[in-house]
Structure 1
Amino acid sequence: MKISKKKMLLKMIISFSIIFLVATATLSTSIFGYFSRTYREEVDKYNSKILSQAQKTIDLYLLREIDKLQSDLISYIMFDDDMSSYVASDTVSSVSISNIYKRLTEMKNESNMLQTISVYSCASNTIISTVGVKFLDDSKNERYLDTPWIEKMEKAADSKLWIDSTFNMVSDNGLESNIIYFVASYPYNATADKRKAIISISVDEKELFSEIIRVVPEQFGQIFIIDSENKIVSHQNKSLIGTKPAGMEFIDKIDSISEDGFFLDSYNGNEIAVNYRSSEFYDWRYIVADEYDMVYHRGNVIQITILFISIIVCLVGIIVIIIFSANLYKPFKRLVQSAGDSLRITSENSDVDLNAMNEFNIIDLAFESMNQNIQTLEEFVEERKTVLRRAFLNNLISGEKAAIHISDKNMELLGFNFPHDRFVLVVAEFIDDMGHSKIENETYGQIIQGIENRAVFGSIQVAGFMTYKRNVAFLLNYANEDRNKVYDFCSWVCDTVDDRFSKTLVLGVGGESLGIANISASYKQALEALHSRLINTDCKVFVYQESCVKQKSITHDIELITKLIENIKLRNKDCVKESIDLIIDYIVKEQYSIESVREYIIFVATYLTKLTYDMGYNEQEVFGGNITQDFSRVSSIDELKIRMDNYCLRFVDFLEAQKSMRKSVLVQQVMKYMRDNKQNDLSLIVVADSAGVSPSFLSKVFKDETGIKFVDYSIQLKLEYAKTLLERKNVSTEEVSLKVGYSQTQYFIKKFKAQYGITPKQYQMKFLNELNFDG
């Protein structure tokens, strides 16, 4: 069998192409694998160098993030070698723990550093199991807390309780007013001689020094008392160091440290206490944590870059082969150009090549098929309708014009409502290739679809498109007598969508002809412009109007709404009013139409509604109804401002009322608990634990609501209880002192006399004499 030279040359070109592509792919894969492996080794080495720093600093990073919750204080954080974290909290409030656990879980997903997070309660020395103390790590294996780490956490919790109880003892003994700050270093793994208490006092009295030393627990091996001249005072009952301890230079920068304002840490190898709310505390440590994450991001970027280069090499090879082949052999060039448009109709008993025909004609195809299979024209088209419709559109795009009467007949047989069906096909191809997320595509796609549905302009047919740069274009098909309506449509589209899109173009298809003689050329140009993601105004497609809007304005108005929401959360009426004024000024400046104003304000209403549900409320109890429906009836800017002021300020008042109500109820419950249990321990820690809040929070709320300190109220109850005990016969002052919680009888007598003007013994004798006299 004789093979022509053209066919032999074609086979050689195809063989050469396959060999070249296989070699390129193999080489690219080898290069990619080598560089990926090499870089991963470098990353691992780098990670091992900074891992120790990251382990020391990630706890501070977590503290900074947790503090943003404006929730109960986290008192202690530790980490083990594999970066699993255990968090000890001084509260058992389920709401607080849930918020903290939720935020830590988010941070785990963001940082790719933490494997396991467990929430621990200092108050009860237990792990909170009701809020999810464990979850699946990246390997999908459950991780549990092991016994050694539970013991460590119990020691840490015990340390924190000792520190808190020490401060309470100082306060209960009337020494709080003379103390500038109290700092304790009590790490879980420290020996007794290394445990420190640092106390700064405002007066220089030896009696006061002695009293402080007496009430501070024996668990502290070293006590540093700093006098008013910032000097260390020695005392006979404790072994003290004669110079400033390591880390005091840092502590000197802190004006005051309250009972909830210190955190235990290791700084340059020395145990010190620092105020974790200080902004200076995070700088270098926070950078290390970010740098740790950056290594992995950089590694991923280089791997992706290498893969991208490999793909480019393969594509360049394909392009070179196509150009080489096309220049050598014109028939092969024609084959390459028409590869995307070639279709082969295959039935059980027929095989028809569409490219073999000089002109796409369904009747001719059907006649050839019906010679072999007894089939009607309608049956032939119905059986192959999908393939034939696609082939017909590809034929139009190719630019090879068919006779008008043949195209008309093809459209009729295929059921085309031309050009609407063709436009639907273009939209599908275009949207499938967009670079935005699916949700964003659907959102903007609905906007365009809504414009299409509402645009009724005579016989004009409309199809909308959007590029990845948020440019929007509309393709039209119209008759000559509709030219003026096209101008109206252009103006209406620009007014409607310019506040959402950066650029609007309206393209006309057809237009100069009532038939379809020039539709294929216009359609091809418009399709190429859209698929290349550029609205190509150089093509011979009619461009009636172009309007540009700065992309910044889209971001700016969202920032204004976000700022308004933040001010509402802060319950700051002045800032809320200022945010509303900025939004109104922005709307006036942009010259929004009233329809655009309604759409914008409904957007604001959506944010407000979401905020109510996020905070656990609903529209009815906050606003008294559906604000979205109310905003949709706005008819002027002045009316808009009145409604925004009304709803936003009402929201602030509602939040203030809820906050005050919760605080008042909490204080009433605490006072009742203390009255019912005045014979028991009424320290701040115990009472706060019973109320499910932190000691610092309870102390502040109690003072705000009652006007007196928690400690003063506790002493008042104790002394009232002491009076009741003293009214009994045969009860000594020492017994009463111990029952009300005072280990030192003299101190109890001092407090009692300060409150009632007489000593406990004098009160007892007076009461018994009056009782005998009445009897």
Structure 2
Amino acid sequence: MILSYIIIVLFITLVLGGTFYFYFTASYNEAVENVHLKMLEQVKNTLNTKIIETVESNYMILVHEFISNTNDLFGFHDDVSGNHTKILQTYNYLKKIVSNNSTVISNIHIYYKKQKILISSSLGVKYLNETNWPYYMNQDWINEMSGKNTSHIWLETRKVPLNLERPDTSLKINLLTYVRSYPVISTGINSDGFIAIDINESIFSDLIKMSAPSEYTNTFIISGTGEIISHPEKDMLNECLNDQKYIEHILDSRMLYGSTVDEVNGVKSMISYTSFPDTGWILINITPLSQFYEKTASLTRMLVILCLMSIIIGTVIASLITKNLYNPLKLLLDKIRSLIGNVNAGNKRSRQLVINTGIQHKANEFKIIDNAIDNLYLTIDDLTKTLKNNIPIIKYNLIMGLLHNQIINVNEAREKFRLINIDMDFPYYAAMTIEIESLRDISYLSVENMHFLKYNLIDETEKNSNDSLKFIAVDLPDFRIGVIVGATTTDEKEIGKIVSNLSSYAYNSFYVTITAALGRWVDNILNVHNSFNDTKTLLKYRFFYPHVPLLHADTLERENCQEHIPPGLIMKFQESLKLQNINRIKELMDKFRSLCSKGGYSADHLNQVMFEFVNIVSRYIRDMKYQFKDIEKKDIYAVFKNINNVNEFCDWIVELARSVINGLNERAESQNAILINKAKRYIYNNIKKDISLDEVAEHINISPAYLSKLFKENTGVNFVTYVKELKFELAMDLLLNSDLTIQQIAHEVGFNTPAYFIQQFKARYGYTPNSFRKQKSFLETEQ
């Protein structure tokens, strides 16, 4: 019997050991590859965040300084003459940016096409005349960008002399350069100039060394054409590797990241790679397989040791079990004696009776078994209730883990789906994000009511599941709901109908509107986080498709679009605003609205254009020194941030322009009345003088032509007629109500001679002044 147990132990140990060896070795190797790939991805993200994004953000800081219309920096349309102070300030500002970002940025250069000036943090200010033109104008980044029909380029690693005037003898350094046109929406051909930012290649290799020190010597960056951009061995820079089989495989692959096994310099190696989506570069790590899987050998040795220990321990246990099984009755009798002794320790006759009959032995034994089964049932029941109560939590953690790439084992995912009794075995998966659009409609809801709304939408979404389509939804922050979709096909028509019905349900039940974004399909549920990232990008386009309930993945093509809104549209808008042509402004905004929905422009570009529209209106308001009467209209940028869609934006811009234009017209009318009153007071106070139109216009600080126009519009007569009428009115008053002589009255009302006064008075009234006065005396005498 002992031999039989030993044989069983050997058989089970060998079978299990072999199974564990093949299974765990394969799983461990796969885990090693995944961890290694994630490490490489982390290194790429570090490079992207600390270098590439830093460079692009500093470009936007410069653009913001130019757009903000300050007087501190030398602009792309400023004249060189008289602006030397601004040029020097621009040079010092560039040095300040380089100093603040010295760990990343080596130099910043600005090239002004119109003025033919180069302002550089390292080269200083260079006026590109015939003397220094060859040294500075022929820089590779200026020549390369001048012929490009794109807004930016990356010049990859090349040796650049520190002294451009002595390139043959000067020390050279390895630099990469980010070049972008100004303004933002222009290209290299039609731009006003370029902004170039230099980065030392060693920053990339140093950062790789800090992020992955053990992998440093085998990690490098290549361009999309196979040339080495950054490498620990500087002699390798600019070497082209596209003739290498593994490089050719990576360049031909459509995957953004992955691993492959190939020979490198005669050594079989694990080659992992990941791409920089914004630059087209590829980060590569090469590790020999012997080094890559060296820990697998340790695992093998450990399994052998465990198998030997299992055989030894199993043999010992088998011997002990066999020995104990040879005397089972002894154990039972001891247990029975113990039980009976506890029940009736003082009744000797009863104990003897129980032993002889054996009836109590059986009763007690069955009772123990029965009690054990009852206790086991209660324990299982408690565990079942606990599991049932925790199903929502397990479901939430599972879905959030898949959407955020926190679950990397498919078996773990399947086990958790089994626990919550959900079948998610489908050939295709996708993520969908539902966003409750109109925040103003739900701002009045309490936290409890908001959760009630979202959980109703989650329940309604999951109710649409069937055999070919499965929806699992969870609550996300910021008025969003995350959904994992499992499907037998990638046909999205049925999903579109379901989302449309869900939108009707949300509006009819809660009076809110929703928009859903469906990411790209994947064939592994562990990759659904990529589809979830797609939905985040798609929701940026919700603003430009206000009446589309479901945004599809084909909209993602707009993210890579290099087209720009025609610059003429913005220029015409600016001109129409200056001309106060509100009908033309409405036509232009309708055109922009159409381009947003029908064009292929990226959301970031459209947001930049909208920001430019707001900037134009803001500058016009500031230039015209106009003040809104309504306080809520003063901060137009705050209003702009709260706009929900492109239709609201276009209507708002038109109404904002209309309000400004009407306000300016009202202000002009009010100011005109003030000017006329000032002019009338001045004429009245100086009626003795020979007053001219130029004299009055100079007094109230307007042009004579404009004053003449105002007099005609407000009094119905021209300036000369008005002055003459006032003189005669004053003369009549003095004739009737004073004892002044005719000569004195002529002087008082500004006539040069009494004779001319008498002549003009008679021509107007048919009486001489003296006859007019006598006529008045005669009337008083008659009365």
Q: Same fold (TM over 0.5)?
A: no
Structure number, greater radius of gyration? 2
Higher RCO (CA < 8 A, seq sep 6+): 1
Report the TM range for the smaller structure's normalisation.
0.3 to 0.5
TM-score between the two structures when normalised by the length of structure 1: 0.34
